Amino acid sequence: MMRLNPILSQKIIKTLLWILTGSTIGILFFIIIYIFIKGLPQLSWTFLSTNPVDMGRSGGILATIVSTVYLIGIALFFATPLGLGTAIYLTEYTREGLITKIIRFGTESLAGIPSIILGLFGFAIFVIAFGWGWSLLSGGLTLSAMLLPTIIRTSEESILSVPQEYREVAFSLGVGKWKTITRVVLPAALPGIVTGIVLSIARSVGETAVIIFTAGSSLRFPSSIFESGRTLAVHFYILAREGISMPMAYGTAAILVLLILIINISAYMTMRFLMKRYS
Amino acid sequence: MYGQEFSLQSISLAIPKSQITGIMGPSNSGKTTLLRILNRLTDLIPDILIRGQVLLDGVDILMPHYNVNLLRARVGMVFAKPIPLPRSIYENLTFGPRMHGVKDRRILDERVEQSLQAAILWDEVKDRLFESALKLSGGQQQRLCIARTLAMQSEVILLDEPTSGLDPISTAKIEEALRNLKKDYTIILVSNNTKQIARISDRVAFFLMGDLIEYGPPDMLFTNPSDKRTEDYVSGRFG
Amino acid sequence: MKEKIIEKILTLLAFSAIGVLLLITVFIFKEGLPVILKAGIKDFLFSAKWAPTKGHFGILAMIISSLAVTFGSIVMGVPLALACAVTLAEFCPPRLLVFLKPTIELLAGIPSVVFGFLGVILLVPIIREYLGGPGLSLLAASIILAIMILPTITSISIDAIQAVPLLYKEGALAMGATHWQAIWLVILPAARSGVVTAIILGMARAIGETMAVIMVAGNALKIPSSLLDPVRTLTSTIALEMGYSAGDHRTALFAAGMILFIFIMALTILANLLMRKK
């Protein structure tokens, strides 16, 4: 049997691995560039600032932007205090034990629940049981269940990274526990917490399955949170799937990808910047 | 160190006002634990068991209903490592008073200046009060931490090996500050450095393995100890 | 006093995630279970006859389709993801790593509808042209899912590889192994439980993915007999029929969701157990 020289075979494997990695990154750039080439020419101020006309065949996407903002706002309004509160409890008020295990299991499991199941759940509870129908409120609440685990995890990590000594200093100055948390710990952990929130905004922007069953897909400009609304991602899905208008679909996709790129990159930059500053 | 059986046993100490009481002993002798009991930072350690009394002006501070936050305002603490909060010098000093409800800007300014003067730091930082405290040198940071307790107008200052990480010049400055402070404050200084204890203490306690071996004026402990173990320690035979 | 109240409130908040999880479980089961009992577990799970308006609730075809696309995506996605993980964790200079790792993670941020759309526009025509069939197929869904789960698996695997003590690698190198031999014989086996966890979480993501699959899988309701057959997964069925369903049909969709939920929870618990063992 012939055996390859180990140095040579390492060279071959290394090249192969780099080719695979390169093509993966290539796929990513291809996706982004393809969407931009097809979609960016469709963008204009009018596209962003007028409402869709004729099911989205013409006009712009203003109503969908507004619906997206509403939904994310509602979701964060509920998920942030719950997530941050959980993180504070886990880090400051309890020791590792059965209770923290249960809470962590719940968080991890919730993170793994697919969006279609969350959509079913939101539909059963908010749309039907509570009788709110398809509405931004139903959608936002369901979305908050999706964001909760991310916010808990990132907040917990950043609170844990605050040096224990800061707490001791505050205590030794006679500052109570809660004030120590709000005035010393949370300000020091803020960058990480904000990064977590920003990343969950990016996730919400691209989400469809959760929203389509809970917020519906009305194209009207939403005037209250009890109305149905269509987000950017849902709008794109409907445009593309029903073949309503390819140029409009590409334009919407470009906005989606652009938003997600900007949000992710800025979150990443802030984190890098702050990590440098602290170390 | 904690969580093991006994860190400290049967200790009885009377700490005099307006003096520096030095506490020395090898590591793990229970000095830090004792210090932390005195402003109840030991509350942070789960399942710790403390029996006995610590009387401050005749009141037992270990009673469960005693107001811990007021106690800690009266009994300040300086840690082994300088730990400035990641804020400006000014905010570090006013943080405590603000949390205790002092809002008047004039009073705060006054306290900042007084405490920095007392910690012999004023001249070095008066022009950059609003810069980050993290930019100060190690010795300056530690004096800032002393000033931070002074700004609280505490009565007792606990120092847990405050110069352990500092160079001799910074150490000398801190010792000078402590000597100036003692007329207005009750100071308890824990140190591994016997020479430092000998230099600035008015009374000295020697701890070994959680036991108080000897307590008295420095002359007695350093020149004429009544216990063999004290003699061994101060003459550098162990520890 | 105030401190005590705050602590109580925080304790309450801390149970929000587990509370939501319980609520989801209760609602999905409450809606889905009756129809399963009505149809009979055997007819529900092991019949491929799905005509909910006529009283046939067999979801076998969907289960097989879901498992098939998941399996397909794992077969294609895992080698690629592991290749990326090994390259990035072992061969990549650290300066490049801080740039490449978030780049791969960014791939996870691309919305699934965009993946589905590009699948329809670019991938499906290629399959139809060169391999035959309608193009919208099990194969197309597997490829798209493989790309979608890649960042999850890569990212967790990188962490697992980096968590292997440097000593192991140095030991192997000191014995004259090449870098690649050290990776293959020492590092990867030591990182095994983390890598397996990554794959399981990738599976969970693939089996639960909806929008991209709807767009490229063709959605024909039958047990697939070839890679080029169109398939309809559990998730696509729910998403496609939810809009117009009512009565037993709607509860049957919840029952399908319930099966999916059970799959996912089993995978999550498995991943959890593996993590703990480490």
Tell me the per-residue pLDDT of C123-152, one tens digit each, with 9 for 90 and over.
999 999 999 889 999 999 999 999 999 999
Q: What whole-number distance in Å separates Cα of residue C135 and Cα of residue C217? A: 9
Which among B37, B75, B77 is the top mutation candidate for probing chain A, defined by the most A β-carbons within 10 Å of its own β-carbon? B77
Of all residues in chain B, the percent with pLDDT exceeding 70 is 95
- Tell me, what's the pLDDT at A275? 67
- Please write the tens of the pLDDT for every residue from C4-41: 999 999 999 999 999 999 999 999 999 999 999 988 88
Mean pLDDT of B230-239: 77
- Please write the tens of the pLDDT for every residue from B181-211: 888 899 999 988 888 998 999 999 988 888 8
Q: What whole-number distance in Å separates Cα of residue A87 and Cα of residue C21? A: 17
| Domain boundary assignment for chain B | 20-85+155-234
Nearest to A249 by CA among A233, A228, A229: A233
- Tell me, what's the pLDDT at C107? 87
**Residues in Cβ contact with A62 at an 8 Å cutoff, skipping those fewer than 6 apart:** A48, A49, A50, A51, A52, A221
- Tell me, what's the pLDDT at B4? 45
Q: What whole-number distance in Å separates Cα of residue C204 and Cα of residue B91? A: 49
Residue A133, Cβ density class (10 Å: 0-12 exposed, 13-18 middle, ≥19 buried) = middle
For C87, the closest of A17, A82, A253 (CB atoms) is A17
Indicate the SS3 state at residue B59: strand
- A243 pLDDT tier (thresholds 50, 70, 90): confident
Q: What whole-number distance in Å separates Cα of residue B160 and Cα of residue C41? A: 70
Residue matched to tokens 């445009």 = A239
Indicate the SS3 state at residue B165: coil
**What is the per-residue DSSP string for C72-95?**
HHHHHHHHHHHHHHHIIIIIS-HH
- Tell me, what's the pLDDT at C164? 92
Nearest CA in chain A to B147: A173
> Has residue B84 got a pLDDT over 80?
yes
Nearest to C110 by CA among A145, A257, A65: A257
Note whether A93 contacts C27, CB cutoff 8 Å. Answer: no
Contact A123, C242 (CB under 8 A): yes
Which chain B positions have a beta carbon within 8 Å of A163's beta carbon? 83
Nearest to B178 by CA among B152, B204, B151, B150: B150
For B96, the closest of A168, A174, A176 (CB atoms) is A174
Question: Per CATH, which fold does B20-85+155-234 belong to?
Answer: Rossmann fold (3.40.50)
| Domain boundary assignment for chain C | 18-277
Amino acid identity, position A92: E
- Tell me, what's the pLDDT at B3? 40
Which among A9, A21, A72 is the top mutation candidate for probing chain C, defined by the most C β-carbons within 10 Å of its own β-carbon? A21
Which portions of chain C are predicted below pLDDT 50?
none
Mean pLDDT of A183-197: 91
Contact C223, C60 (CB under 8 A): yes
Q: How many CB atoms lie within 10 A of CB C71?
A: 15
| Domain C18-277: CATH architecture, name and number where available | Orthogonal Bundle (1.10)
- How much is the ipTM here? 0.91
Which chain C positions have a beta carbon within 8 Å of A10's beta carbon? 178-181
**What is the per-residue DSSP string for B174-193?**
HHHHHHHHTTTSEEEEEES-
**Residues in Cβ contact with B5 at an 8 Å cutoff, skipping those fewer than 6 apart:** none
A248 has a chain C CB within 8 A of its CB: no
- Please write the tens of the pLDDT for every residue from A52-101: 888 888 888 999 999 999 999 999 999 999 999 999 999 999 888 899 99
- The DSSP symbol for B210 reads T
Q: To the nearest whole number, what is the mean pLDDT of chain C?
A: 92
Angle between helix C138-162 and C124-131 (nearest 10): 120
Written in H, E and C, the secondary structure of B80-138 is CCCCCCCCEHHHHHHHHHHHCCCCCHHHHHHHHHHHHHHCCCHHHHCCCCCCEHHHCCH
- Tell me, what's the pLDDT at A146? 95
Which among A20, A113, A130, A159 is the top mutation candidate for probing chain C, defined by the most C β-carbons within 10 Å of its own β-carbon? A113
For C11, the closest of A13, A89, A110 (CB atoms) is A89
Question: CA torsion angle for B172, B177, B182, B188 (degrees, to 10)?
Answer: -60
